[in-house]
Amino acid sequence: MPGAFDSHCHFEPGDDAPALLARARAAGLSGMLAVGGEAAANRCALAAAAAAPGFALAAVGFEPGEAGRVSPEAAAAAIREAAPRLAAVGEIGLDYSRGEDAAARAAQRALFAAQLSLAAELGLPCSIHSRDAADDTEAILRERLSPALVREARAGSLHCFVGPADFAERLAPLGLSFGLSGILTFRNADALRAAVPALPRDRILVETDSPWLAPVPLRGRRCEPAFVVHTAAVLAHLLGLEEEEAAALSARNALRLFRPVPARPQGV
Ligand SMILES: [Zn+2]
């Protein structure tokens, strides 16, 4: 059975990517989606994927914090340029958790919408960040997602899903899957754990969001993809599965969404 798949992790400038990838393989992972979010992070995601073809897949995109710094047009151009190497667009989305004013929120929405439209055009799923912005996230997804990907339930993942359960109920019909991060293992996450058995089984993903959110029992450490096995173990417990079965479920679901990119000759 395939091992757990880390559906959302970040590589940063200065990371020892070969060591992180080797430890992920040693931990039994079957793969990962290396996710960007701004220019340097996007380069790191592409480099990780190039270093481990078929094991590390890449997503490039511009996160809500980039709104106002990167125009929707420039974001779309960068994604289009990287498109042949991408399994997804991300991370993209909305984050209203820092008291953004109306103009800042509007800029986030424009950046998110442009990238969703391009993902639809390219036929790529998205890795989506949504914080304190559930209604606007849902509205823009309804407007911009590719109908074909929605039908195939390949529209993307809502990364770092923390509930509430009714948000998942609203987004599941839009073809979204739900990424469970290390938060699932935290002592104070009873409400999230209670919501998990109601999620559609074929839409459940695990992720680290590394280098943040190290799961129990590794909290406080710098997180890395190998740590996703601890989140998958808690998922197994919640679903009444063996650990290997939960890991395989996460891999099956992730690979339905994020398809490996065919290898290209060097230099092309
Ligand atoms: Zn992230």
What's the pLDDT tens digit per position in 115-172?
Answer: 999 999 999 999 999 999 999 999 999 999 999 999 999 999 999 999 889 999 999 9
CA of 159 to the centre of ligand 1 (A): 7
Q: How many angstroms separate the alpha carbon of residue 8 from the centre of ligand 1?
A: 6
The reported pTM is 0.96
pLDDT of residue 21 exceeding 50: yes
> Residue 112 pLDDT > 90, yes or no?
yes
pLDDT for res 114: 98
pLDDT at 260: 84
- Determine the distance separating the centroid of ligand 1 and the alpha carbon of 23, expressed in angstroms: 20
Cα(32)–Cα(57) distance, integer angstroms: 6
For the chain, which domains are there? 5-257 (3.20.20.140)
For residue 219, the model assigns a pLDDT of 93
pLDDT band at 265; cut points 50, 70, 90: low
Split at pLDDT 50, 70, 90, the class of 268 is very low
What mean pLDDT do residues 5-31 have?
A: 97
* Buried residues in 7-35 as b, exposed as e (16+ CB within 10 A): bbbbbeeebebeebbeebeebebbbbbbb
Tell me the torsion sign for CA atoms 231, 87, 160, 10. positive
CA 7 / ligand 1 centre spacing (Å): 10
pLDDT above 60: residue 266: no
CA R_g for the chain: 17
Q: 239 CA to middle of ligand 1, Å?
A: 25
Which pLDDT score, from 0 to 100, does residue 128 have?
A: 98
- Listed in sequence order, the residues at least 6 apart from 61 whose beta carbon sits closer than 8 Å to its beta carbon are 35, 36, 37, 42, 75, 79, 89, 90, 91, 92, 115, 126, 127
> Residue 57 C-alpha to ligand 1 middle, in angstroms?
15
Q: In this model, does residue 55 exceed pLDDT 60?
A: yes
User: Could you tell me the distance, in angstroms and rounded to a whole number, from the CA of residue 39 to the centre of ligand 1?
Assistant: 14
- Cα-to-centroid distance, 138 and ligand 1 (Å): 19
Give mean pLDDT, residues 192-204.
Answer: 97
